[in-house]
A and B are shown apart, each in its own frame.
Chain A
């Protein structure tokens, strides 16, 4: 992926992410109710691997880390990404460096290694099974 396209994508994704989180932050618990955008859950009636991430990030913002872990551990990764990536990309853009682009390309190479891929897929699958268990029980 080219540098400019990647940086634009990250900034756009961060904007959407922050808007989504703040929308849910203000509506959560006020009776307005959040909007459910998960296609997978609507079609199959079962949660997808990342269902619960919004609730998890909201719990982290309230410093309720145990709740965040229970809703979905992916929330921690997402909260970290939301905090770090836009700042990193902006610093890179201002200082005209490409450290994030290099990191992204290296990370892609590492993730494609067989044992890393197998490990990550099993983690996601395990989390998915736990998610379905939480939803159905």
Chain B
């Protein structure tokens, strides 16, 4: 893919990924075929800040996990009072990193 397009994509979407993954993503996007650019634009990436807010307000009911597509864990969190309240608090700190991980997995599905 053209370097200009890659830079444009990264400028708009860098916040969705871990900073140490950016050079790797840059490298992979440069190798990627141009025809996949449209698919790349349509990947449904989740905003880590939004997920933190969802986790703060709806984490007790597992809504954060449901939004990330982890239905099983969402149900587990919902039925156990947010993992006895402890899992909810742990997720306040972990959910942003986890969202970036999930975004990376989604991107990798387009890349390969």
Q: Which residues does A use to contact B, with CB under 8 Å?
A: 1, 13, 16-17, 20, 37-40, 48-51, 53, 74, 77-78, 104, 107-108, 111-112, 124
- Sample 11 A-B pairs with CB under 8 A, ordered by A number: A17-B80, A20-B84, A37-B81, A37-B86, A39-B85, A50-B78, A53-B79, A53-B80, A78-B79, A111-B71, A111-B72
**Which residues of B are interface residues toward A (Cβ below 8 A)?**
60-61, 70-73, 75-76, 78-86, 88-89
Pairs of residues from A and B, 9 with the lowest C-beta to C-beta distance, nearest first: A37-B85, A37-B84, A39-B85, A50-B81, A40-B60, A108-B71, A38-B81, A108-B72, A111-B71
Chain B at the A interface: SS class: helix
Q: Give the number of A-B contacts (CB < 8 Å).
A: 52
**Chain A facing B: main interface SS:** helix
B82 closest partner in A (C-beta): A39
- Bound together, the chains give a CA A104 to CA B78 distance in angstroms of 17
| Chain A residues with CB below 8 A from B76, complex form | 13
A51 CB contacts on chain B under 8 angstroms: 81
On whether A40 and B81 interact (CB within 8 A), knowing A48-B60, A48-B61, the answer reads yes
**CA A35 – CA B15 in complex, angstroms?**
40
Residue pair A107, B72 in contact (C-beta under 8 Å):
yes
- Give which listed residue, B72, B73, B80, B88, contacts A50 with CB less than 8 A: B80
Question: Given A37-B86, A39-B88, A124-B78, do A49 and B70 touch, yes or no (CB 8 Å)?
Answer: no
